[in-house]
């Protein structure tokens, strides 16, 4: 088992990529904290993990709220004694809203979840990692964090910021035994589309231009395998970078 004895927090783990990551990590021997704002669905994931012989418990957390982030990490340490792996997966879309139609409220909401949330979980986890000179952070960025129009302006900017945060943390804390990498998924079949409500027609039209060259849609399980590589010692020399997982879409 690649993660035997490790403790992993996965945010946004009640469904989609987060759920797949939590399940795979548990199968590889990690003790899992299934974190999500939807505690009912998070509890269902815990039941699936424990029924398969894994170890997990659920914590209700909205990563846009500092008090929830504090509670998440504190609960992890209280239950398992430590933290080894942090997976920042929670995220929302932005209705493909272009800059000209963007409101402060939408900008701030998308950044609060997609960028400030990961910053807060990292900030709270670092003292634990520093104390033992060991820790792994994997941020779920996006092809939208590498290119200009895979979503609206807020999502694009927020995911670009996640990429920058990843590189900064990875380099600065490398001498302390801490690694921080990101995954940039392309089109993946998850339920993140449920966070899209009345998409902006112009923005969506511009964002969809490149869909015709997308080789295929990926699965949550395929992204989970990349996360496992980055979270395990198999990637011990990989730090401060972004792994693109998109079937070659952005290679065009």
Residues forming the active site:
155
Sequence-separated (6 or more) residues with CB below 8 Å from residue 128: 73, 77, 82, 83, 135
SS percent in the chain: helix, strand, coil, step 5: 55, 15, 30
Nearest-angstrom CA–CA distance, 69 and 58: 13
Sequence-separated (6 or more) residues with CB below 8 Å from residue 154: 94, 97, 102, 106, 107, 110, 111
Residue of 171, 62, 163 lying closest to 121 (CA atoms)? 62
């Amino acid at each position: 088992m690649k993660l035997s004895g490790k403790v992993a927090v996965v945010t946004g783990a009640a469904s989609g990529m987060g759920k797949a990551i939590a399940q795979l990590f548990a199968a590889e021997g990690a003790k899992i904290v299934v974190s999500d704002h939807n505690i009912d669905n998070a509890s269902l994931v815990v039941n699936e993990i424990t029924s398969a012989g894994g170890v997990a418990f659920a914590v209700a957390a909205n990563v846009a709220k500092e008090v929830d982030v504090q509670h998440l990490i504190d609960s992890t340490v209280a239950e398992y004694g430590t933290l080894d792996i942090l997976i920042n997966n929670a995220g929302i879309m932005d209705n493909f809203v272009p800059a000209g139609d963007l409101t402060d409220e939408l900008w701030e909401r998308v950044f609060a979840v997609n960028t400030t949330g990961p910053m807060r979980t990292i900030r709270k986890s670092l003292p634990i990692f520093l104390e033992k000179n060991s820790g792994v952070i994997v941020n779920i960025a996006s092809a939208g964090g590498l290119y200009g129009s895979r979503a609206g302006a807020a999502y694009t900017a927020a995911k670009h910021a996640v990429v920058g945060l990843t590189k900064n943390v990875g380099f600065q804390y490398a001498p302390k035994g801490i690694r921080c990498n990101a995954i940039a998924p392309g089109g993946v079949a998850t339920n993140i589309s449920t966070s899209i409500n009345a998409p902006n027609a112009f923005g969506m039209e511009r964002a969809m231009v490149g869909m015709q060259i997308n080789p295929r849609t990926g699965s949550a399980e395929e992204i989970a395998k990349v996360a496992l590589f980055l979270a395990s010692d198999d990637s011990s020399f990989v730090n401060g970078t972004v792994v693109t997982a998109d079937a070659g879409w952005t290679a065009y």
